[in-house]
């Protein structure tokens, strides 16, 4: 589930919240999964992966990850992302474009301290996306770290939140006859400009 903090009443956010509610009522699994694409400048490639969206704090969309991972390096060298969600239960796609930033240390700390210790042990023990010789190594690192965990264990500085505030939204609602509805909101001169697109 996504946590809404101080929900925005701007049009695309109202649109999003109503679809989120509809998807939830229709039993959508993995409702918080969002696919984030970023640009790998060194390889001149685009890479995409799912992450779990944890919060929409007013107009900031927030997920957590490893700050030394490939995605982190990509956000560092090219700070724009393309994000997509698909909720099969209501045949709806939501596309967004945005700049991406790290959240404040305080926000990351608060989230870290509210998580299960197993999750934090994994965040601490994993060098995300590095090659390993065997899965046993992952398990050993995890269990060794878990044994040392106390409620006072601090968030490592290589793990924390990312926040993005979209300047572009497209809501796509599928229809049986392919008369799909596409509704765009684009931020221009501090206002949301709306338009419809052909299917």
Ligand X SMILES: Cc1cc2nc3c(=O)[nH]c(=O)nc-3n(C[C@H](O)[C@H](O)[C@H](O)COP(=O)(O)O)c2cc1C
Whichever of 63 and 171 has its CB closer to ligand X, that residue is: 63
Instruction: Check residue 15 for interaction with ligand X (CB under 6 A).
Output: no
Q: Which of 142, 152, 151, 150 shows the shortest CA–CA distance to 121?
A: 142
Write out the two tokens for 22. Answer: 């509809």
**Is residue 166 exposed (0-12), middle (13-18) or buried (19+ Cβ within 10 Å)?**
buried
Which residue among 17, 37, 52, 93 contacts ligand X (CB under 6 A)?
52
Instruction: Check residue 41 for interaction with ligand X (CB under 6 A).
Output: no
Q: Do strands 168-173 and 181-188 pair parallel, antiparallel, or not at all (unpaired)?
A: antiparallel
Q: Which stretch binds ligand X (CB under 6 A): 1-9, 42-50, 149-157, 188-196?
A: 42-50
With CB under 6 A as the rule, give the number of residues binding ligand X.
Answer: 16
Which residue among 17, 128, 141, 153 contacts ligand X (CB under 6 A)?
128
Q: Which stretch binds ligand X (CB under 6 A): 64-72, 79-87, 141-149, 176-184?
A: 64-72
**In whole angstroms, how close is the CB of 72 to ligand X at the nearest point?**
7
**In whole angstroms, how close is the CB of 11 to ligand X at the nearest point?**
27
Instruction: Check residue 145 for interaction with ligand X (CB under 6 A).
Output: no
**In whole angstroms, how close is the CB of 181 to ligand X at the nearest point?**
26
Write out the two tokens for 11. Answer: 């049009």
How many angstroms separate the CA atoms of 118 and 199, rounded?
Answer: 45
Instruction: Check residue 93 for interaction with ligand X (CB under 6 A).
Output: no
Which residue among 49, 78, 117, 182 contacts ligand X (CB under 6 A)?
49
Positions in the binding site for ligand X (CB under 6 A) = 30, 33, 47, 49-52, 63-66, 69-71, 128-129
């Amino acid at each position: 589930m996504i946590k809404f903090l101080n929900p925005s009443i701007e049009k695309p956010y109202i649109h999003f919240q109503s679809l989120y509610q509809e998807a939830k009522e229709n039993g959508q699994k993995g409702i918080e999964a969002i696919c984030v694409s970023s640009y790998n400048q060194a390889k001149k490639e685009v890479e995409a992966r799912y992450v779990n969206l944890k919060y929409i704090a007013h107009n900031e969309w927030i997920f957590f990850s490893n700050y030394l991972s490939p995605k982190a390096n990509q956000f560092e060298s090219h700070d724009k992302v393309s994000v997509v969600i698909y909720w099969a239960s209501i045949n709806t796609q939501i596309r967004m474009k945005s700049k991406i930033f790290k959240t404040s240390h305080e926000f990351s700390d608060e989230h870290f301290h509210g998580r299960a210790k197993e999750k934090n042990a994994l965040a601490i023990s994993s060098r995300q996306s590095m090659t390993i010789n065997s899965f046993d190594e992952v398990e050993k690192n995890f269990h060794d770290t878990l044994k040392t965990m106390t409620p006072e264990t601090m968030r490592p500085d290589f793990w924390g939140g990312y926040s993005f505030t979209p300047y572009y939204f497209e809501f796509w609602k599928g229809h049986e006859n392919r008369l799909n509805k596409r509704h765009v909101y684009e931020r221009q001169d501090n206002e949301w400009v709306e338009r419809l697109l052909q299917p």
